[in-house]
A = this chain, B = another copy of it.
Amino acid sequence: MFYIIGLGLSDEKDVTLRGLEAIKNSTRVYLEAYTSILMIQKERLEAFYGKELILADRDMVETESDEILHNAANEDVSLLVVGDPFGATTHTDIILRARALKIPTRVVHNASIMNAVGACGLQLYGFGQTVSLVFFTETWKPDSFYDRIKENADLGLHTLVLLDIKVKEQSEENLARGRKIYEPPRYMSIPTAVSQLVEIESLRATGILDPNRTLAIALSRVGGGDDNQRIVAGTLAELLAHPADAFGEPLHSLVIVGKRLHHLEVDYAEDFAINRETWRVVARDVYGCSLD
C-alpha cells in the first residue's frame, strides 16, 4: 500500500492516529522537503516516529516517483506532506503513477490552510477562489492575482492569499556556473505581501485594495496554539505600518475581507484587530455592516 499522509499544520502531534499507524508499519517513509515549512525539524519527527525519514524534494516527488513507489504493491510505503495531501500543492501526479502501476493507494487527510483559515473568524462559505502571491523582482511582477481577487471582491467574497515560499533557489552566479549550491529558504512575510498588493492597486486603481478602505486578516502558524499562532486584523494600511515581527514566524497567509461581511464575523475578528475602532468603523462605513 502506498500512503500519502497529511501531517497537519503545526507539529508532530498533528498527525492522525491513522497516519501514525501507517508510518509505523511502513518499510520506507518519505518526507516531502517542502516540509521544511513545518514548524519542526526532520530529526524531531524521526525521534517521535522512531523511524528514519528519507527527504524527498519536489522534483523527486514529481519526476522520480517510481523510486518512491518501488515495491509498494508488496510493502507499505508512506509519503508525508505538510497540511493535507490535496492542499495548495496537489499530489495527483504520483497517485496517477501509482494507479498505472496498480499499486493500491490511501490518502490520509488532515487540516490545511484551505480549511483552517476559518480560525480568523470568517465563514468558509464566504470565500471565493484562493490565490497565490509570488515574490516580485525588479523586472518581474506577475499580477494576475489581482484579477482573481477582483472577481471575488465583485461578488463580495473573501480571498485567501497564499504567500510565496522559495526553497532550493540558486543565486544567479551559482546558476550560471552550474553549481548546485542553494540559498536558504525564503518565506514571504505579511509586510512584503501587503506592499506588493498595494503596489499593484496603485497601477490598476480599481479600489478593491485601497489601503485605508480594505480590511484584511494576517495569519501565521495556524493551529500552533496561543503561544505560537498569530492572527492580526486591520486595514491594509495598518498591516503595512505594523511592526514586521508582530506577525510571528512563517508561514504567513493573508485574507482580503469581502463585502459580504457579517456582523458576527466583525465581532469575532475584532479580538485580533490592531485598532478595534478602525476595524469597526471601516466594517460599518465601507463594508456596510450593521453594527451596534
**Interface of A toward B, CB cutoff 8 Å:** 6, 8-10, 12-18, 20-21, 84-88, 90, 92-93, 95-96, 99, 104, 106-112, 114-119, 121, 123-132, 151, 155, 157, 222-223, 225-226, 264, 267-268, 271
B residues in contact with A268, CB < 8 Å: 92, 95-96
How many copies of the polypeptide does the oligomer hold?
2
Compute how far the CA of A126 lies from the CA of B116 in the bound complex, rounded to whole angstroms.
18
Compute how far the CA of A12 lies from the CA of B21 in the bound complex, rounded to whole angstroms.
13
User: Is there an interface contact between A121 and B109, defined as CB atoms closer than 8 Å?
Assistant: no
Compute how far the CA of A265 lies from the CA of B84 in the bound complex, rounded to whole angstroms.
18
User: Is there an interface contact between A111 and B109, defined as CB atoms closer than 8 Å?
Assistant: yes
If over half of A's interface residues share one DSSP class (helix, strand or loop), that class is named, otherwise mixed; here it is: mixed
User: Is there an interface contact between B223 and A111, defined as CB atoms closer than 8 Å?
Assistant: no
Please name 16 further chain A to chain B contacts, defined as beta carbons within 8 Å, in addition to the given A13-B16, A13-B18, A84-B115, sorted by A numbering.
A14-B17, A17-B17, A17-B20, A86-B116, A86-B117, A86-B119, A87-B115, A87-B118, A90-B118, A104-B226, A106-B226, A109-B119, A110-B111, A125-B131, A125-B132, A128-B157
Compute how far the CA of A126 lies from the CA of B92 in the bound complex, rounded to whole angstroms.
15
Q: List 22 A-B contacts (CB under 8 A).
A: A6-B111, A8-B16, A12-B17, A13-B16, A14-B109, A15-B16, A15-B17, A17-B17, A17-B20, A84-B116, A86-B115, A90-B123, A92-B121, A99-B271, A106-B226, A107-B119, A107-B223, A109-B223, A114-B124, A115-B115, A124-B130, A127-B129
